[in-house]
Every structure is written in structure tokens, then in C-alpha cells.
A and B are shown apart, each in its own frame.
Chain A
């Protein structure tokens, strides 16, 4: 398995790996640290301050209400509003926010997955793209002429390395957020069920990261250049996404959001996304007589299948080309 070792060494020796991953990690650390900094534990003093502030706000609102009553007198509309309620003014709203690990961590998986997916796309694309562009692929093939094996090993090693880096990043991310829960909020309510759900979300996140890595790898290999993968990504974002949005809004395609990549990323990470077509003239009524605009549910299974098919097509193309083409 010397080829595996060579590729692994090559991956971690690369300048891009040594720059892009730390930058991604730094981004995650920064975001997590900001979350940490802007939350704090509810101390007795802070609670007292919050109570005072809530009470003061309540009193002020009551004063406004009474003044309003005086001014309109008889002409006041009979809307059944009896003025501000004390229970609406909670001390928590007047205290620095505290970090609830259980809800926050679950929602923030997307941040980790999105940042690492970008890192993975870049690393995957440049790992093979630079190899083609520099001519060292040709060199390598004079050492190991089995092309499928060479490309397959590269892909495998790249995916495993990206997975390792992503898990490392998740560890750091989790560590800081956990600390935020411990010191700036609460880590209560973490039942085994919650952990299981975290685990599954993390796995889906990892799947997404690896899909992006493989996509970058496949595109760069087909185009024999990192630039092709980056260009394709840019084209999808600008032409595909921005352009489609404008076009679809003009011609009123129902549920046009389903053609946008971020919608599927959300669906994948949050298990589903419900699209509502407010612009539709029709409504859907249930048997009780409640009528709503039509809805479309996108599940993570659907988004996942689409992504899998796309990645598979690109990789098949890359390997098929590798088998056939003249290398010069």
C-alpha cells in the first residue's frame, strides 16, 4: 500500500492543505468564540438587573397605555385590549443571553458543515487538478501505469483525509460550544436521544462535506485543472443560482426555490424544508375548511439522492476519461 502512503504524504504536504484547512478552522473557532463571548450565565445580580429592567419597561408601557386611554376617551375602539400584561415582560429578555447547548449546537451543525464543505471542495479539486496541470500525474503514471488504481487511490486518500480534517474541526467546534454551554449557559437536557440526533446530524454533515470533496475532485480531474472545478462552482452560484432566482421570479415558476442548492443543503441538514407558494392563486383546503397556499416538502432523502446522483455522474465521467484519454 505504498501508493496510499505516498498519496497521504502528498495530501498533507500540499501548500493548499496547509493553508485552506487552518483558515477554515480559524473561521469556525472565531464564530464559536464570538458565540461564547456574547453569552453569559444568569447570575443573581444579572437576574435582579433584568427584573428591574422588565419592571421599568412594564411601568413605562402602562403609562403610555393610560395616556392613550385618556386621549381617545369615549372614541377608543372596542378591540378588547386591556393594556400591557406583566407576564409579557420577562427578566430573561433584559439579561445578557445565555447559551443553551442543546438547542444551539443542534442548529449550528450547518455552520460547520458548510465551512468544511467549501474547504473540502477546494482541497478535493486542487489535489488532483494541480497534479494534472503540473504534469506530475504523467510522471506518476510512469511509475504506476494502472490508471484506475492511481485515480482511485487519490480519491480514496483525499476523502479519508478530508473526513479526518472535518472530524478534527468538529471536535474543536464542539469543544468551544460545549465550553460556552458550561460557562456561559447550560448543557442541561442532553438525553441519549439528543446525542443520537446530534450524531446523525454530524454524519449527514460529514456526508455533505465528502460529497463536495468528491465533486471538486471529479470536476478538476475531468478538466485536468483545479480552475475548471472552481469555474464550475462559480458558474453554478452565479448563473445557476442568482440567474435562476431572477428568471423564476419573473416567469413565476411554482416552488422555484427547489432548484436552489442552499435549499437542498438545508433540507439535508435539517431533515426537511417546507416550501410555500404564496404567489399561487389556488389554495389547498382540508376537510375542516382551513385553506392554505400549496406547499412542497423537500426531505433529506430527496436532496441526498439528487446529490448522490450528481456526484456519481461526475466521478464516473472522471474515471471513464482517465481510462481512455491520451496523457501528454
Chain B
């Protein structure tokens, strides 16, 4: 499948008050057509910087970017009509109504004015479209932002934390909307901190930490690659659990004893466990790999899992080594 979005070796250093700040450091990302792609990373890892750079709002120090095969930022004017985007809760003119706001954008992009009503309808704001944005709630503003990104009916939709401030119903609507849009052929890049949500709607993900990619690929693959090979073992007679633990320790495992099951890590072939135990007349009733969820993988990969009694500073996360592709030494 063709890549709708390609980023290679992207670097950006901000000149900030406290000295230069390296926000992106050899970042790469690929999104294939028709996918819903999750873009994850701890606070300050460079997600918004990446999206701003794509949209030409920020000039990168170096790196290559393509959208729909067109090189950026040089050919941005040609592809911009195909890219709908919201970047971190965009602000609108507070005294204009939602309809005026969208109508002005539609004008600027030479779109028919019927699109405005279509977009407002889609995000559930039609009834309140004549009210000033100033009077909107956080979630309503966010819906307006999403409407503004949908207005172009783009091929690539970029949403930076679209669920920010949405109510549960709104989040579910957003999820359904994205499923519909992607079924209709739209490619969606979605940055979010709500990992349960990402796991539900995304086909693939990219995880960024301190400006570098730490993991990427289809959600299932990422989960599998980074699940630590844990298995859960339950026995037909729970009373035998400690006996089973002894057997496994003798075989070099380090089982963890729970009330009704054992957990083992570093297991390559679960069948081996069953055989070891069966040899001692201990019969396994359940032997399942413990699937890590996206949150676990995220915390592990970025090194941002909270440690009791310790306060983590925002920039404290994993900086992966550079690979040859993203500009590191071979």
C-alpha cells in the first residue's frame, strides 16, 4: 500500500530561553493509505512539533517529509487542499459564530458553502452554529475544530488530541466517525494520550519519545513485539499451585504465585510448561500468554511508568539510539 505520509530523519531545534531545545532528533514515521494511525508519546516528546512541521508552520532543521508523495514543504501548496488538520486545540475568533468561522475558512479554501453545514452536522453543532464561539464549552470548541479539519473532505486528516475535552458520548462519536471516514478511504493520523481509545480505533501506531521513534507498526505487532513473554498458568486443582511453583523453579523459571494462578515471564514455548507439569501429575487448566495492553507497552517503551515515591520530570523518558535510517552512525 502507498504511504500517504512519510517522514525521515526529521530534526528540529527550538531556540528557547533556556538554550536550544531539541524537540525532534532524527524522527521517522510512515502512514499507509486508508489507515487510522495513532501517534503516541509522552508530554513534550515532539508530537505537536512533528505535525506543525508537516503543515509548514515550523521550519525543520533537516529531514525529509512527503504527503501523498509530494515533497514538503516545497509542494505543500499543492497538497494542502487534501490535508485537513487540527493542531492542539486550535483557537478561533471568539466573537464569530461557528458558521462564520467555517464559512471564512471555506472561502479561503474556495470550497462550496454547503460544506459548512455538512461539517457542522457531522460534529453535532448544527443547532448551535449561530452562537458565538466565545460561548461554547471546551468540547464544543473541539468539535468545531474537528469540523474545520473535515471541511476540506481531505485525503489525510491530522488530528492532534481531538478527544481533548470531549464527553464520553463525544469520544465514542468521534471513534465511530473515524471508522466511517477511514472506511471511506480517508487516512487519519491521530495523536492522543487516551491509549484505550487508540487501541480500539487505530490500525497502526507510532510511538515517539524525546524526539525519536521508539516503536511503530500495526497495533497487534507492536503489542506482541513488546509483550514480555508472560504467561498465566492455572491448575485443575488450585491447591497444587505451590507444588507446581517448586517444579518450575527447579526448571529454572521464576514463577510468581498468585491466589489462583501463576505468572511466568520469559517463556518462549508455553507447551514446555504444560509438559513439565504434566510429568508430575499437575494438570494445567489454563495456559495463556498475558497480553500487555498498549498502555503497558507505552510505559515500558518510553520509560515513563510512574515509580512510587518518585517524581518524574516531563523530559525524563527514553531516548532510543539512532538507527542508520534516521541519521545515526551505521
Binding site for B on A (CB under 8 A): 2-3, 5-6, 9-10, 13-15, 130-131, 134-136, 138-146, 324, 326-328
Residue B56 contacts which of A135, A139, A141 (CB distance < 8 angstroms)? Answer: A141
User: Which residues does chain B contribute within 8 Å of A326, judged by CB atoms?
Assistant: 14, 52, 57-59
> Which B residues are CB-close (under 8 A) to A141?
55-57
Instruction: Say yes or no: B80 contacts A145, CB within 8 Å.
Output: yes
Q: Is B330 an interface position by the 8 A CB rule?
A: no
28 A-B pairs with CB atoms under 8 Å apart are A2-B108, A3-B108, A6-B104, A6-B105, A13-B96, A15-B95, A130-B93, A134-B94, A136-B90, A136-B91, A136-B92, A138-B57, A138-B90, A139-B91, A142-B55, A142-B80, A142-B83, A142-B85, A142-B87, A143-B108, A144-B108, A145-B55, A145-B77, A145-B80, A326-B14, A326-B57, A328-B48, A328-B58
- With beta carbons under 8 angstroms apart, the residue of B48, B56, B77, B93 that contacts A136 is B93
Tell whether, in the assembled complex, residue B57 and residue A5 are in contact, meaning their CB atoms are under 8 Å apart: no
A136 partner residues in chain B, CB cutoff 8 A? 90-93
Chain B 70-93, CB within 8 Å of chain A: the 1/0 string?
000100110010010101001111
Task: Choose among A14, A135, A327 the residue that contacts B91 (Cβ–Cβ < 8 A).
Answer: A135
User: Cβ of A327 and Cβ of B57 under 8 Å apart?
Assistant: yes
Pick the most buried of A6, A9, A131: most chain B CB atoms within 10 A of its CB. Answer: A6
Given A145-B76, A328-B58, are A134 and B105 also a contact pair (CB < 8 Å)? no
- Note all chain A residues with C-beta closer than 8 A to B93: 130-131, 134, 136
0/1 per residue, B130-164, Cβ < 8 Å to A? 00000000000000000010001000000000000
B59 touches A2 (CB 8 A): no
Which residues of chain A are near B58, meaning CB under 8 Å? 326-328
Q: Please, how many angstroms separate the alpha-carbon atoms of A237 and B71 in the complex?
A: 49
Per-residue CB proximity of B30-69 to A under 8 Å, as 1/0? 0000000000000000001000100111110000000000
| Residue of chain B at shortest CB distance from A4 | B107
Beyond known contacts A2-B109, A14-B95, A145-B80: 20 more, CB 8 A cutoff: A2-B107, A3-B108, A6-B108, A9-B103, A15-B95, A130-B93, A135-B91, A138-B90, A139-B90, A139-B92, A139-B105, A140-B105, A142-B80, A142-B83, A142-B87, A144-B108, A145-B76, A324-B59, A326-B52, A328-B58
